[in-house]
Amino acid sequence: IPKGIVEAVRARGDEALVEFSEKFDGVALTADQFEVSQAEIDAAFDTVDPALIASLKKAHANIQYYHGKNLRQSWEETLDDGSTIGQRVTPIESAGVYVPGGKAFYPSSVLMNIVPAKVAGVATIIMVSPPSYNGTIHPAVLATAKIAGADRVFRIGGAQAIAALAYGTETIPQVLKITGPGNTFVTAAKSLVRSICDIDTEAGPSEVTVIADTSANPRYIAGEMMAQAEHDEEASSVVITTDARHIASVPKAVEVELETLSRTEIIRTSLANNGRIIVARNLDEATALSNLIGPEHLAIYTENPRAILENITAAGSIMVGHNTTVVWGDYIAGPNHILPTGRRARFSSPLTAEDFRKVSSVIEFSDERVQALGPDVIAIATAEELTAHARAVEMRQKD
């Protein structure tokens, strides 16, 4: 149970981590073996295919470029009476990044978590990942940590890793924000510690909605559905189309493609459980339904996708036009693939560098402004019966 795990790590630190690593990951570690040394990281980097390293570096550059575009700036303005107002934008001091392990490994998650934090200027970035690859972390994940610039890496996973980042242990430093996807135990643990430190989101199963018309290629639609479905059996793949022929053509395309894919059974189960093809009367209706769903990913496969885009109000990431599969955003386009799920796109946003920064408001009053606005504040504070508030201003008023 995540709550018990979190409380145990909070109370017993490294001792609990040793216990849970053996219990859940089947790996016997001592506390001095938690951290992956720089020598191990360098050695792992050297074992990875240079072509993959080159691709990861290209993705890194694109993600870095994109996230550098949306940073707020500090500002200060001097008013006519000599007072100043403004804001200071500063990075949080530390962040913890969770990278899933298990049957699969996700170097793309390393980039999507660490790069925005680096762009934001976070001083210390700690990466944790389960010791699920021969008792350690997959070489491609370690190599990507080096490319992205993780400061320290620990082979600890699950809810216990989240607790360690939130509370700190004798070996693992406490951080101010935790990001990164994980299983239901990891997600639950993040929810439990969010009063101690910030988290990115409580991520649910992956989702895609496709808006299509008669110009859409059934094979492309099928590809979009399958790409989401292969994440896990709970993933959601919804098509909203004005072309009723897609009811037959898309499943047929799925069957053809499934013959050569590696996670066929997961895809079949996911599409059977959560795959839907909805026929809309027109594209306005399709757009309205998509906004109601508020999907994590939205692909617009229509003759004039820009016209649809103008009316989209709720989607984590929007893919415009037939060339633009969601997969571009998963890996290399630049925007983050850590996105709001479970209809949260109606009120929340993808992970950005701004999520690793904070704003402080700045106020400096001149003598003139103290005298000009004092009576107004005294009147409001007195009306609220907060007389100490009023007094703090009165003592600065000149007779």
Please tell me the distance from the alpha carbon of residue 233 to that of residue 231, in angstroms, as a whole number.
7
Are 142 and 152 within 8 A, CB to CB?
no
Cα–Cα–Cα angle for 288, 208, 103, rounded to 5 degrees:
165
Name the 3-class secondary structure at 225.
helix
Q: Which of 128, 121, 138, 160 is nearest to 48 (CA)?
A: 138
Please tell me the distance from the alpha carbon of residue 91 to that of residue 355, in angstroms, as a whole number.
9
Please tell me the distance from the alpha carbon of residue 298 to that of residue 320, in angstroms, as a whole number.
9
Are 126 and 155 within 8 A, CB to CB?
no
Which H/E stretch holds residue 183?
none
Sign of the Cα torsion 317, 65, 56, 185 reads negative
Amino acid at 215: S
Residues counted in the chain: 399
Which residues does the annotation mark as catalytic? 296-297
Please tell me the distance from the alpha carbon of residue 241 to that of residue 259, in angstroms, as a whole number.
25
